[in-house]
Amino acid sequence: MTDTTTEVLADFALDTTAKSLGDVVSDAKARFKSGNLGSLPSVLAIITLVAIFGYANPDAFLTTSNLANLMGQASAVIVIAMAVTFVLLLGEIDLAAGFTAGVAATVMATRLADGWPLWQALAISALVAIALGMFTGYMVAKVGIPSFVVTLANFLSFQGILLLLVKDKGTLRVQSTPVKALVGGNLSPTLSWLLVAVGLTLFAWSLWRTMANSYGAVPRSLVLIKLGGAAAAAIMVTLLLNENRAFEKAKEQGTVIDGIPYVVPAIMVLLVLLTFLLTRTQYGRHLMAVGGNPEAARRAGINVQRIRLTAFGLCGLIAGIGGIFLASFVDSVDPNTGANDTLLLAVGAAVIGGTSLFGGKGRVLNAVLGGIVLALIPNGLPLVGQRSPFGIIDIDFSSSGVKFICAGLALLAASSVDALSRKGA
Amino acid sequence: MSNDKPILELQGINKSFGPVQVLRAVDFNVYAGKVTALIGDNGAGKSTLVKCIAGVHPTDSGEVRFNGQSVSIHGPKDASELGIEIVYQDLALCENLDVVQNMFLGRERLKHGLLDGSSMEQAARDTLASLSVRTLKSVRQQVMSLSGGQRQTVAIARAVLWNSKVIILDEPTAALGVAQTAQVLELVRNLANQGVGVVLISHNMNEILQVADRVSAMYLGQVAADIEVTESTTRETLVELITSGRSGDVGLITNDAEEEVTA
Ligand SMILES: Nc1ncnc2c1ncn2[C@@H]1O[C@H](COP(=O)(O)OP(=O)(O)OP(=O)(O)O)[C@@H](O)[C@H]1O
Ligand SMILES: [Mg+2]
């Protein structure tokens, strides 16, 4: 819109004036300029990393088997990142979410080992995860201890619970075919296409709904571009993944590995459900309000303590689901399930995706985008191998040291964007 | 008309924050269809009194009557259920939410158990339009991106949205320019003419003489005077009530308030 039209606009004109694609683009530009970058940095990071690794080692990185690997590697961190998103939105943190995942996974594995049916093992593990989260929530909301301190303490005690559960067995195998298949298994090519069809239909429906309710603020061309882009990407990826990606040797022996990995629909279902909860329900609205301004929420009659308590419970439950992904990735649980850098990567993923550490700003989708960035780094770096980038020093990019440094720098960059955007606002 | 029963009646309200007594035996009345101005120096206790009415702060003692019935307000929900709405001095909006979301916060409209976005948006727009708001271009803007005056407008619209019986505005014009101040004052008058009991807190005496029907003056946590605004009410009277709690033969009789503070 130009300045001359702004003057003659009547009340709420921006809500009811049809916008062209150009208007939408300049709106987005203005938003970025004002420091509100949203998911842009993570999307750019994904593109950059793919370009760098693809250039450095196209034969190993740009393969369909690596693409499928990447999805499996990213899945657990993405789910745990979704979990912490709900407490990050309140400006809180859950440092123990990794161990909540570990405990939930181990509870499930021990029940399965005792011959419980899968659904019962899953139900009890979910209950335990919720209980752990609610305990944290009680300490934060009712007792009034900062979540950083509560979850630091829980970081230790939940690890203790995990050790007690695993006992001296060291490693406990997961005895359930569906759980093992969750990360690593694939839909058949036919089901893959069905998934694409269902996914695109739902996406088209939600885009159409947004457009219909927008009084023209969302132009049809934008909807078509989004839908077209999504369809092209989904079809291309599915075509690639439906190829047999077994190694040449294995192929000769008749091994077939093809189709979209199960983790893709699994993550999509979680993404849609949790986004729905956050944006379309009263609970989600109140959670955002408490994160934005707890005092305003309180004066609006929102039970702030209840929101805090349940957000931690929800975080526990989703982290518990993440634990199943962790267990499925290696088909077993041990004292390190959910330990080490799991939690740091999850929080990092949420923040890299654009969710603020200061509360009130974030989306569930950010966890997915950030999780992909953080999975790309350890996936791609080893394929780069030993290099001397500026001809001065030799760097072994496959070493863990370089991996950690790169992940750390990515997180630092993302939180700088977050902090600077708050300053600029 | 002053012999009409007040719609909201406070009697003997006491409130302390720890050792500091902020409200002392405060009596305060609000009349339907009238603008009651609440004046007093900085720290006199005006905002605290409002927060007690709103249920944001519990009171230590005292009685609240609404429509003649004794009521107890334990939280913001109780107040809004009675039809009391407050526009706070520190506006208390969620900057990360948009205009509509703020206006309906805590009282969202639902359809099939889910947020009914379009109906809320339409209602918000209608309310803002009925207040002849000229400055807001979109109700889908985040409050973060609004100017002080626009935020004030949103906060007032939020209170008006509920067909409230009593609306309390804590210094609504303090941050506004000349034109917007005039608009808010007109709005205040309109609300009263529609039968709402309006409380206006302000430090601007001209503003008060212009729109208020009654004035309650607070001095160091006490109500020094409760007077009707007439032709003969002057700026000087009000200023005296604010600064010394007394003007001519109205106001506090003793001086013990001051002594207790220095003690
Ligand atoms: N939450 C609180 N805790 C402790 N003291 C408080 C609190 N809120 C207000 N006070 C104190 O109560 C007194 C009255 O404050 P209040 O905000 O009601 O004044 P006011 O009349 O609204 O002043 P102003 O014109 O500056 O808005 C002040 O001395 C203030 O410091
Ligand atoms: Mg005040």
- Report strand pairing: B166-170 vs B197-201: parallel
Across-strand partners of B63? B11
Q: Report which of B247, B202, B166 is spatially closest to residue B37, judged by C-alpha positions.
A: B202
Pick among B96, B104, B128, B130 to test the A interface (most A CBs inside 10 A) = B96
Exposure of A120 in the CB half-sphere (CA atoms within 13 A): 8
Other C-beta atoms lying within 10 Å of the C-beta of residue A376: 23
Single-letter residue type at A44: L
CA angle B97, B99, B100 (to 5 degrees): 95
Residue A76 main-chain phi, psi, to 5 deg: -65, -45
- Render each residue's pLDDT in chain A as its tens digit; 425 residues: 333 333 334 456 666 667 777 777 777 777 777 667 777 888 888 999 899 888 888 888 888 888 888 888 899 999 999 999 999 999 999 999 999 999 999 999 999 998 899 999 999 999 999 999 999 999 999 999 999 999 999 999 999 999 999 886 688 888 888 888 889 888 889 999 999 999 999 999 989 988 887 777 788 888 899 899 999 999 999 998 888 888 888 888 888 888 889 999 999 999 999 999 999 999 999 999 999 999 999 988 899 999 999 999 999 999 999 999 999 998 888 888 888 888 999 999 999 898 988 899 999 999 999 999 999 988 888 888 777 777 777 778 878 888 888 888 888 887 887 777 766 54
CATH code of the domain containing A101 = 1.10.3470
- Report strand pairing: B8-17 vs A332-333: unpaired
Indicate whether A10 belongs to any domain: no
- Interface touch B105/A280, C-beta < 8 Å: no
Residues A290 and A384 in one domain: yes
Structure tokens at A195: 């998934």
- For residues B166 and B8, is the Cβ–Cβ distance under 8 A? yes
Across-strand partners of A89? none
Q: What's B48-98 look like in SS3?
A: HHHHHHHCCCCCCEEEEEECCEEECCCCHHHHHHHCEEEECCCCCCCCCCE
Distance between A10 CA and the closest CA of chain B, angstroms? 7
Pick among B138, B142, B145 to test the A interface (most A CBs inside 10 A) = B138
Residue ranges of alpha helices (H) inside A243-399 are: 248-252, 263-280, 282-292, 294-299, 304-330, 342-352, 364-384
**Which chain B residues are Cβ-neighbours of A30 within 8 angstroms?**
none
Indicate whether A338 belongs to any domain: yes
Q: Report which of A417, A421, A347, A420 is spatially closest to residue A43, judged by C-alpha positions.
A: A417
- Dihedral sign computed on CA atoms, order A46, A47, A52, A55: positive
Q: Report which of B136, B140, B137, B142 is spatially closest to residue B97, judged by C-alpha positions.
A: B142
- Tell whether ligand 1 has an atom less than 6 A from the beta carbon of residue B221: no
Residues A132 and A56 in one domain: yes
Distance between A305 CA and the closest CA of chain B, angstroms? 14
Total count of residues recorded for chain A: 425
pTM: 0.85
Residue B189 main-chain phi, psi, to 5 deg: -60, -45
- Host domain of residue A237: 186-260
Q: Please, what are the domains in chain B?
A: 1-83+165-171+191-263 (3.40.50.300), 91-163 (no CATH)
Rg of chain A over all Cα atoms, to the nearest angstrom: 23
Residues A287 and A360 in one domain: yes
State how far the Cα of B131 lies from the Cα of B152, in Å rounded to an integer.
12
Residues A251 and A279 in one domain: no
Closest Cβ–Cβ partner in A282, A295, A298 for B108? A282
Question: A60-91 burial string, b = 16+ CB within 10 Å, else e?
Answer: ebeebebbbbbbbbbbbbbbbbbbbbbbbbbb
Which atom of ligand 1 is the closest one to the Cα of B171? 27
Residues A197 and A343 in one domain: no
- For residues B156 and B184, is the Cβ–Cβ distance under 8 A? yes
Residues 6+ apart with CB under 8 A from B109: B115, B116, B119, B120, B123
pLDDT at residue number A12: 66
State how far the Cα of B105 lies from the Cα of B95, in Å rounded to an integer.
12
pLDDT in tens, B44-53: 999 999 999 9
Per the structure, how many domains does chain A have? 2
Indicate whether A24 belongs to any domain: no
State how far the Cα of A384 lies from the Cα of A53, in Å rounded to an integer.
7
Residues A66 and A211 in one domain: no
Long-range contacts made by residues A219-223, C-beta under 8 angstroms, separation at least 24? A219/A18, A219/A19, A219/A20, A219/A21, A219/A23, A219/A24, A221/A20, A221/A21, A222/A21, A222/A24
**Which chain A residues are Cβ-neighbours of B122 within 8 angstroms?**
none
Residues A238 and A298 in one domain: no
- Interface touch A297/B95, C-beta < 8 Å: no
Query: From the CA of A144, how far away is ligand 2's center (Å)?
Result: 28
Structure tokens at A306: 């209840």
Say if residue B163 is exposed, middle or buried (CB neighbours under 10 Å; 0-12, 13-18, 19+).
Answer: exposed
Q: Report which of B184, B237, B175 is spatially closest to residue B207, judged by C-alpha positions.
A: B184
Last residue of a domain, one of A260, A285, A313: A260
Residue A285 main-chain phi, psi, to 5 deg: -60, -45
Residue of A nearest to B105 (CA): A300
Residue A133 main-chain phi, psi, to 5 deg: -65, -45
Residues A323 and A283 in one domain: yes
Structure tokens at A284: 């989600």
Residues A156 and A242 in one domain: no
Residue ranges of alpha helices (H) inside A172-257 are: 177-182, 189-212, 220-241, 248-252
Last residue of a domain, one of A208, A228, A260: A260
Indicate whether A6 belongs to any domain: no
Indicate whether A34 belongs to any domain: no
Q: What is the dihedral of CA A188, A191, A193, A195, to 10 degrees?
A: -130
Structure tokens at B205: 């005496």
State how far the Cα of B249 lies from the Cα of A212, in Å rounded to an integer.
66
Single-letter residue type at A195: L
- Mutate which of B13, B16, B17, B220 for ligand 1 pocket (most atoms within 8 A of beta carbon): B17
pLDDT at residue number A244: 84
Those residues of chain B that have pLDDT short of 50 are 1-2, 257-263
Residues 6+ apart with CB under 8 A from A265: A187, A195
Indicate whether A37 belongs to any domain: no
Indicate whether A406 belongs to any domain: yes
Query: From the CA of B18, how far away is ligand 1's center (Å)?
Result: 13
State how far the Cα of A199 lies from the Cα of B121, in Å rounded to an integer.
29
Structure tokens at A412: 């630092």
* Complex ipTM value: 0.85
- Tell whether ligand 1 has an atom less than 6 A from the beta carbon of residue B83: no
Rg of chain B over all Cα atoms, to the nearest angstrom: 19
State how far the Cα of A120 lies from the Cα of B183, in Å rounded to an integer.
64
Single-letter residue type at B80: S
Residues A109 and A177 in one domain: yes
Residues A155 and A282 in one domain: yes
- For residues A263 and A325, is the Cβ–Cβ distance under 8 A? yes
State how far the Cα of A270 lies from the Cα of B104, in Å rounded to an integer.
28
- Tell whether ligand 1 has an atom less than 6 A from the beta carbon of residue B16: no
Indicate whether A153 belongs to any domain: yes
Query: From the CA of B47, how far away is ligand 1's center (Å)?
Result: 6
Pick among A89, A211, A278, A299 to test the B interface (most B CBs inside 10 A) = A299
- Tell whether ligand 1 has an atom less than 6 A from the beta carbon of residue B202: no
Last residue of a domain, one of A260, A288, A313: A260
Residues A168 and A244 in one domain: no
Single-letter residue type at A317: L
